[in-house]
Structure 1
Amino acid sequence: MQFKDQISFVGQHIKKNKMRVFMTVLAATMGTAFLIVLASVGFGLHETIRGEVLSNRLVTQIEVFSSEMDEEKVVELKKRDHVKAVVFRQNLGAEQLSSIGDFTGNSQLVVTDFTEEKKANFELQEGRLPEKMNEVVVGSNFADSLMNQQDENEDGEFTTYDGKLIGEQFNYQIGDDEGEMIEDKMMLTIVGIGKKPAKDWEQDQKIYADASIIPELEKIYYAHVDKPVDDNTDAQQLFYGNVNVYADKLENVKAISTELKDDGYSVYSISEELDQLDVFFLALKAGLVFVGTIAILIASIGIFNTMTMAVTERTREIGVMKAIGADPKLIQRLFLMESAWIGIVGTVLAVVISYGVSIVSNYVLPIIVTAALGEEDFGDMTVTFSVIPWQLVVIASTISIGVAMISGWRPARKATKIDVINALRQEL
């Protein structure tokens, strides 16, 4: 029997039992669609949270911690493979005071290398990067830190500075080891304003200055405070720093982090956070696929019953086929083709339905959730409730068609063992 004849043979018997086959296909479709839609929730949540992490962090940044970090080690870090930039930010370990006229604030000074900051994509909201020692960039919320202590509004709050910052000069003072402000002041000029942080609740009130300012600050500070030496551990260090290493590509972050750990550094990078996230969601998605598979197994009972009844109803036809010399393998193949057809049709319909459900849920659920929570939206967060990648379609299709074939295998084997004489005696 040629293959097209086998297809025709299977098609004829499917047409004879349209309603029964339809209900079996429906059960297979519902089981497979349930698996895909359920697992798609795991993929959707994974994509949402991963996207949120990546959008709010510099993905190539590696935070490096060392109690003995200095310029020499920073230079060594810059020479490593796949390192795009090394930003050594040093914070001032003393009280600080900034003032513009009657407006004063306690913004923290950060000393850095703007050549490296530029490589690491330090972004400005307005202005330019410093080019001279007394030029600085201020954070986007710097003006909010400057208050007029003598001007109080009706609510009991002090007014904040609302003037133009670019080009403005302000007095900068640091305190001694007892917290008293040193009278010597530095005049700093604002040439740039940093970009607003990605998260709405973050405040950037810092002052960013070039490393060339360090000698002048040390001169002012150590004129009033004992300078630390090797045998004087009680003396206060003026600067303490942290280093951020930036890889050239996200793919190289993990390799650089591992190399730094091997060299004794304590490091943290987004790759570690993503690895933990991926492991968690891999387990979640596997669990959802497992639960969805149970629905397909329930549907397989219907396929088994349908195929068993098909064998019983066609006992006489099977007897005739065997009498004229049909190979038992051919008979088995015909019934397996029928169960496979049920699985394939059910899978195709399930995939189409699942994509439709996914699209509708991603449109409707945000509206329902925001209405229930009383919020207008999710803020800057883009929430995706359902995502159906091609891998999920392949997994679900394999499980669905595989279960259908297994369900039809036993009835197909039974068909090959029917006795010819008894089959031909059976009345239809």
Structure 2
Amino acid sequence: MQFKDQLDFVSQHIKKNKLRVFMTILAATMGTAFLIILASVGFGIQDTLKREILDNRLVTQVEVYAADLDIEKADKMKKLDHVKAVVLRQEVNAAQESALDKYTSQSGLLVTDFNEEKKAGFALAEGRLPKTKSEIVVGYDFAKNLMNEEEVEKFQNQQRDTQANDEDQAEAELPHYEGELLGKEITYEFGSYETNEFYKEPIKLTIVGIAKAPSKDFISDGKLYADASLIPELEAIYDRHKAEGSEDSLLNSNLNVYADELQNVKGITTSLKNDGYSVYSISEELEQIDVFFLALKAGLIFVGTIAILISSIGIFNTMTMAVTERTREIGVMKALGAKPKLIQRLFLLESAWIGIIGTVIAVILSYAISILANYILPLIVGAALGEGDFEELNVTFSIIPWQLVVIASAISIGVAMVSGWRPARKATQIDVIDALRREL
């Protein structure tokens, strides 16, 4: 019997029991769809979490921690293989104030090497990077931190006079500097934290650039970024005014190493650890997340597989009844010379057909449910939490990658074949004489 004839044979018998076969396919569909949707939640949460971690951060960045980070150590790290840039940022650890016209700000000063910053991808919204020690870049929110005390006090008095409710006060923005920043000269001073008094040695700095806005609205960047060539002048002022015998350092350092490519981050991290540094990189965090979600997705697939196994009971019953109903027909086929392998193949084809149709419908249904869930659930959760903009958080509840479809399909069709194997085997063991004696 040719394969085409075998398919026609299976099709004819399926048509005779449409309702029973339909219910069996429905059970297989529900089991497979449950597996795919359940596992897709794991993929969706993993994708959302990874995007949240990677947002506004470089995957090639390695953070280095040590108590004595300095330019000499940074220069040694530049010699490591596959290092693109080493950025040593040193922040002034003192009371600070910047003044522009009648506006003042307590924004902190950070000194760095802009040649390395440029290699690492330091981005500007306007202007250019500093070229001399008297030029600076200001954070995107620096202007909002520049305030006039008289204007702020007047504004607050107006708020009290109008008896604004709490919500209006929260939304109201304090008056701040709204003029042009580029090309403006500011006066920078710093002093003792303990006495809160400045050293009265102001430094004139010219704004030549404005840093790019942080990707998150809740992050505010109001810092001053100056070139590392300013450090000797800052330390000279500090040495003239610090308490006698004090060993406190003016500058707090943090250092980031940037790899040329993502695959080289692990090698650089290992080299730095071997040199005795404590390090952190997103690649390590992502590896931990991937391991966790691999276990989670495996667990979800296992739970979904149980649903498929339950549906396999229906396939087993359907195929067992099919064998019982066709006992005489099987006897005739054997009498005509049909081999046991052919008979077994016919019944396995039927159970496989049920599994394939159920799987195809389940995949289509799963994608439809996934799309609807990602569209509707943010609206429902946002309404429940009272946050109309919940969907703006870009949360993905369900993702169905092709690998999940392949795994689910293999499990579903494989379980269907296994469920049909025992009835198919039973069909090959039917005695010809006994089968022919049965009445039609």
Report the TM-score, using the length of structure 2 for normalisation. Answer: 0.91
Describe the superposition over 1:122-161 as per-residue Cα deviations: whole angstroms up to 9, x where unpaired: 1111111111110001111222322323441242597432
Tell whether 2:424 aligns with 1:412.
yes
SS of aligned partner of 1:223: helix
Q: How much is the aligned-residue C-alpha RMSD, in angstroms? A: 1.8
SS of aligned partner of 2:110: strand
1:155 corresponds to: 156
Distance 1:387 1:94 in 2: 49
Distance 2:241 2:5 in 1: 101
Contact 1:111 1:211 in 2 (8 A): yes
Contact 1:43 1:386 in 2 (8 A): yes
Contact 1:300 1:403 in 2 (8 A): yes
Single out whichever of 58-67 and 206-215 deviates more from structure 2.
58-67
How big is the shift at 1:299? 0.9
Distance 1:377 1:178 in 2: 44
Tell whether 2:233 aligns with 1:216.
yes
Contact 1:33 1:353 in 2 (8 A): yes
1:181 corresponds to: 198
Amino acid at match of 1:308: T
1:34 corresponds to: 34
Distance 1:379 1:130, change over 3 A: farther
1:124 corresponds to: 124
Distance 1:178 1:424 in 2: 106
Single out whichever of 315-324 and 395-404 deviates more from structure 2.
315-324
Single out whichever of 358-367 and 338-347 deviates more from structure 2.
358-367
How big is the shift at 1:60? 1.6
Distance 1:300 1:49 in 2: 35
2:326 pairs with 314, 318, 321, which one? 314
1:258 corresponds to: 270
Distance 1:2 1:27, change over 3 A: same
Distance 2:360 2:391 in 1: 37
Single out whichever of 253-262 and 265-274 deviates more from structure 2.
253-262
How big is the shift at 1:55? 1.7
Contact 1:176 1:221 in 2 (8 A): no
Contact 2:186 2:206 in 1 (8 A): yes
How big is the shift at 1:379? 6.5
How big is the shift at 1:389? 0.5
Equivalent runs, 1:4-153 vs 2, <5 Å: 4-151=4-151, 152-153=153-154
How big is the shift at 1:195? 1.3
Distance 2:292 2:187 in 1: 51
Describe the superposition over 1:326-378 as per-residue Cα deviations: whole angstroms up to 9, x where unpaired: 22122111111111111011111111111122222222222222222222223
Q: Please, which runs of 5 or more residues in structure 2 have no aligned partner?
A: 160-173
Distance 2:229 2:155 in 1: 44
2:216 corresponds to: 199
Distance 1:177 1:334, change over 3 A: closer
How big is the shift at 1:380? 4.8
Distance 2:378 2:22 in 1: 35
2:165 corresponds to: none
Amino acid at match of 1:36: I
Describe the superposition over 1:82-110 as per-residue Cα deviations: whole angstroms up to 9, x where unpaired: 21111000111222221123322221110
How big is the shift at 1:314? 0.7
Distance 1:76 1:379 in 2: 46
Q: Please, which runs of 5 or more residues in structure 1 have no aligned partner?
A: none
Amino acid at match of 1:198: S
SS of aligned partner of 1:402: helix
Distance 1:192 1:380 in 2: 30
Describe the superposition over 1:243-279 as per-residue Cα deviations: whole angstroms up to 9, x where unpaired: 0111122222223222211221111111122122222
Describe the superposition over 1:287-310 as per-residue Cα deviations: whole angstroms up to 9, x where unpaired: 221221122111101100000000
Describe the superposition over 1:168-193 as per-residue Cα deviations: whole angstroms up to 9, x where unpaired: 11111121475431111111111111
Tell whether 2:264 aligns with 1:248.
no
Distance 2:175 2:10 in 1: 84
SS of aligned partner of 2:97: strand
How many matched pairs?
Answer: 423
SS of aligned partner of 1:155: helix
SS of aligned partner of 2:333: helix
Contact 1:153 1:159 in 2 (8 A): no
Describe the superposition over 1:32-85 as per-residue Cα deviations: whole angstroms up to 9, x where unpaired: 111112211221121122122212322221110111222121111112122111
Contact 2:155 2:175 in 1 (8 A): no
Amino acid at match of 1:223: R
User: After TM superposition, where is structure 1 displaced by more than 6 Å over at least 4 residues in a row?
Assistant: none
Distance 1:16 1:402 in 2: 25
Greater percentage in helix: 2
What fraction of aligned residue pairs are identical, expressed as a percent? 66
Distance 1:215 1:398, change over 3 A: same
